[in-house]
Chain A
Amino acid sequence: MATTSAPAQAPLIAARGLTKRFGSFTAVDAVDFDVAPGESFGFLGPNGAGKTSTMRMIGCVSPITAGELRILGLDPATDGPRIRGRLGVVPQQDTLDTDLSVVDNLVIYGRYFGLTRAESRRRAAELLEFAQLADRAGDRVDPLSGGMKRRLTIARALINEPSILLLDEPTTGLDPQARHLLWDRLYRLKQRGVTLVLTTHYMDEAEQLCDRLVVMDKARIVAEGSPRSLIERYSSREVTELRFAVGVQETLADAQLEGIGDRIDRLPDRVLVYSDDGEAVGPAVHARGLRPETVLVRRSSLEDVFLRLTGRTLVD
Chain B
Amino acid sequence: MTAPAIPEPRPSAGYLAAYEHQVLLYLRNWRGSLFSNFAQPALFLLAMGVGLGSYVDKGGANATDGVSYLQFLAPALLVSSVMQGASSEGTFPVLAGFHWVRRYYAMYATPLTPRAIAFGQLAWNATHALMVGSIFCVIIALFGAAATPGIVWSVPIGVLTGMAFSAPIAAFMSTQRDTNAWNNIWRFGITPLFLFSGTFFPIDRLPELLRPIAWLLPLWHGVDLARSAALGTIGQAPLLALAHVAILLAMAVGGTWAMFVMFRRQLEA
Contact = CB atoms under 8 A, between A and B. Distances in A.
A82 B8 contact: yes
A112 B2 contact: no
Interface stretch (B14-22, B227-235, B251-259): B14-22
A85 B3 CA distance: 14
A86 B4 CA distance: 10
A97 B103 contact: yes
Contact of A73 (B2, B29, B113): B2
Nearest to B108: A61
A83 B4 CA distance: 11
Nearest to A70: B1
A163 interface: yes
Contacts of A93: 102
Contacts of B106: 91, 95-97, 109, 156
B24 interface: yes
Contacts of B102: 93-95
Interface residue range, chain B: 35 or more
A84 B109 contact: yes
Contact of A112 (B11, B101, B112, B268): B112
Given A99-B25, A108-B20, A114 B10 contact: yes
A166 B18 CA distance: 23
A268 to B, nearest CB: 38
Given A104-B24, A108-B20, A61 B110 contact: no
A171 B262 CA distance: 32
A10 interface: yes
A99 B111 CA distance: 22
B260 to A, nearest CB: 15
A58 to B, nearest CB: 11
Given A99-B28, A163-B4, A61 B10 contact: no
A104 B106 CA distance: 14
Contact of A10 (B2, B17, B110, B267): B2
A113 interface: yes
A74 B6 contact: yes
A158 B109 CA distance: 12
A48 interface: no
A11 B6 CA distance: 16
A112 B14 contact: yes
A87 B109 CA distance: 8
A111 B16 CA distance: 9
Nearest to A160: B110
B105 A114 contact: no
Interface in A45-67: 59, 61-63
A85 B2 contact: no
Interface of A: 10-11, 14, 59, 61-63, 70, 72-74, 80-87, 89, 91, 93-101, 104, 108-109, 111-114, 156, 160, 163
19 contacts: A14-B1, A61-B267, A61-B268, A70-B1, A73-B4, A81-B14, A82-B6, A82-B8, A84-B109, A85-B6, A86-B6, A89-B109, A95-B106, A97-B25, A99-B28, A99-B29, A99-B101, A100-B28, A112-B112
Given A81-B111, A100-B25, 5 more contacts: A72-B6, A73-B4, A74-B3, A82-B6, A108-B24
